A and B are shown apart, each in its own frame.
Chain A
């Protein structure tokens, strides 16, 4: 077994995941005025508070991910380009893809999607929440509302794919989120460059 992530990273990811589900479910409740969801959160006023504070937790967790994942994701090499060109090997029954670093090109792109829409949704969320009571700022709130909702949709598209990739599509990946360690053989196939760097 080889250690892929440490306990802190696991905690941060679970924090993000839990707050994410709270945010998405309450977000749907607000978007479509769903009474049942409102009741489940103890009323819409309470759901608003929970949504806002879960957003703060999510944004904080997202910020913490930047220390680890941002430098890794920024290292985009020719192998990453080649990997993407082959569709990550997902479009054939057998994968023949260039060796990948700690996270593969697809994961890097996913991270940027999560990071950028995360920043957008957090900043605009704060503006909608603490909206200054001034008429000339109405347009800013409306623009924030628009960006907040567009980012929401980005998350709605990206997250199921992320969850699918980490479970059904790649059996064994979920271990990274549970124990943080993966079998050496497993890692060698998926993250050859990283395994080599780690000295195995």
Chain B
């Protein structure tokens, strides 16, 4: 199977937030009590009960005094996922055949390192100290269904399908640069932006923290090399020089007694 993906087209989004509701319904996530913050953008942030949300960006200009952008936020299902890289528990975070970054709560050990390593600040921890986030409806897509959010989207602002096909679709629609086409070995949630990504509240060049990359590329091999090298050097020394002997050379015998 080819890699699957979501294509987000903010220009098509009407901000109905049906995707948020459908997500909660399928994943059985409770509603959240929030405060009126003077906007219909709600809830304010991703949480253990909110796997996706629409971010509202108001961009009034002279040309268009009521320009309002709706940007779907979720796990980006990175090709090279920082969360998976740093996670110390095998199987707690894993890639599905479709390319979704899914999680197994039973295997999560609650260290929260994935939170620090995510380029998009996505993973959240619940009361039981277990990870939760969008998993691209791994249980649905494995059965050939589409994710709940894309299933419910009435305008095509969220589309699910073969990643290459979606990229072609965006190109055809006139988007020369698709956000996430190649970042982090390609994102599983791509965005057809008309303006620079930062206008939509997205990082220009998302990347896994340098220290995590350094750890993975340099320190991990160095752990084996350091240990192996020290053992090898010791043995080599033993072969070359043997046990330490002092002037009279009789000592070794005396020690035996």
Query: Which A residues have a C-beta under 8 Å from some C-beta of B?
Result: 28-35, 38, 44-45, 47-48, 89-96, 128, 131, 133, 135, 138-139, 141-143, 145-146, 149-150, 152-153, 156-161, 164, 168-172, 183, 185-186, 189-190
Contacts and interface: CB of A to CB of B under 8 A. Distances in A.
A96 B107 CA distance: 57
A45 B243 contact: no
Interface residues of B, number: 48
Contacts of B246: 94-95, 189-190
Contacts of A131: 112
Contacts of A168: 234, 238, 243
Given A157-B229, A183-B254, A146 B242 contact: no
Interface in B66-122: 86-90, 92, 107, 109-113, 115-117, 121
A149 B87 CA distance: 14
Given A168-B243, A169-B238, 10 more contacts: A30-B89, A31-B88, A38-B89, A45-B110, A48-B109, A48-B110, A131-B112, A145-B113, A152-B223, A156-B227
Given A30-B88, A142-B116, A157-B230, A44 B109 contact: yes
User: Closest 9 CB pairs between A and B?
Assistant: A164-B234, A30-B88, A160-B230, A33-B90, A172-B255, A156-B227, A44-B89, A157-B226, A189-B246
Interface string B235-257: 10110011111110101101100
B212 interface: yes
Main secondary structure of the interface of A (DSSP, over half): helix
B211 interface: yes
Given A157-B226, A168-B238, A183-B254, A146 B215 contact: yes
A128 B234 contact: no
Given A30-B88, A33-B90, A168-B243, A161 B233 contact: yes
Given A145-B116, A171-B252, A156 B107 contact: no
A170 B223 contact: no
B237 A35 contact: no
B222 interface: yes
A95 B112 contact: no
Contacts of A156: 223, 226-227, 230
B251 A189 contact: yes
B237 A31 contact: no
Nearest to B112: A131
Contacts of A142: 116-117, 209, 211-212
A149 B218 CA distance: 11
A156 B234 CA distance: 13
B116 A186 contact: no
